[in-house]
Amino acid sequence: MKFQLQAEKLGIRLRTQFGANLPNAYGDIGLMQRVLDNLIENALRHTPEGGQVSVTLDANPDRLTVKVADNGCGIPPSELPHIFDRFYRMEKNRENVEHAGLGLAIAKRILDLHGSVIHADSVLQHGTTFEFHVPAYR
């Protein structure tokens, strides 16, 4: 997997789980790769050494479900509604000039263009899960 070496350098376990008989899905492959890249990079950035990031793909007859989950620091409930806003960075990351706060906004916009919706569930000090669905190709 593309991020395996980066995860190993950070001391994070990167786990993938793909359901059986996954269908093809509608979407621009390059843009969907960008969504996954942004979500995985974000998860690695917010997961401590010794933590885990998992990427799960599963499907039913109508859609492919993608989840990127980590057991990192989590997102405060007050900040969760803003994480997909352009240039938004969580309070604890605002001093970090290395990241502009665009990754999640870009992922959301790409998914919007594909007719998909992204959801984030988070618990402080336990981690965050991002989930989206893509229509299956029939």
State the Cα–Cα distance between residues 62 and 45, nearest whole angstrom: 33
Across 114-130, average pLDDT: 94
Q: For residue 138, is it within any domain? A: no
**Would residue 120 count as lying in a domain?**
yes
- The rounded distance, in Å, linking the Cα atoms of 80 and 74 is 10
Contacts of 16 (CB under 8 A, 6+ apart): 1, 54, 55, 56
Q: Domain containing 36: what range?
A: 4-133
The strand pairing partners of 128, in sequence order, are 70, 122
Within 10 A of 109 (CB to CB), how many other CB atoms are there?
15
- d(CA 121, CA 67) in angstroms, rounded, equals 11
Who wins on pLDDT, 94 or 114?
114
* Residue 23 covered by a domain: yes
Give the tens place of pLDDT for each residue, 72-86: 989 899 888 888 888
Q: Angle formed by the axes of helices 29-45 and 103-113, to 10°?
A: 150
Count how many domains the chain has.
1
Q: Does the residue 8 lie in any domain?
A: yes
pLDDT digits (tens, 9 = 90+) for 43-83: 999 999 999 999 999 988 889 999 999 999 898 998 888 88
Report the amino acid identity of residue 103.
G
Which parts of the chain are beta strand (E)? 13-18, 52-59, 63-70, 118-123, 127-135
Q: Does residue 47 sit within a domain? A: yes
Read off the pTM: 0.88
Categorize the per-residue pLDDT at 94 as very low, low, confident or very high, splitting at 50, 70 and 90.
very low
In this structure, what CATH number is given to the domain that contains residue 55?
3.30.565.10
* Residue 34 within a domain: yes
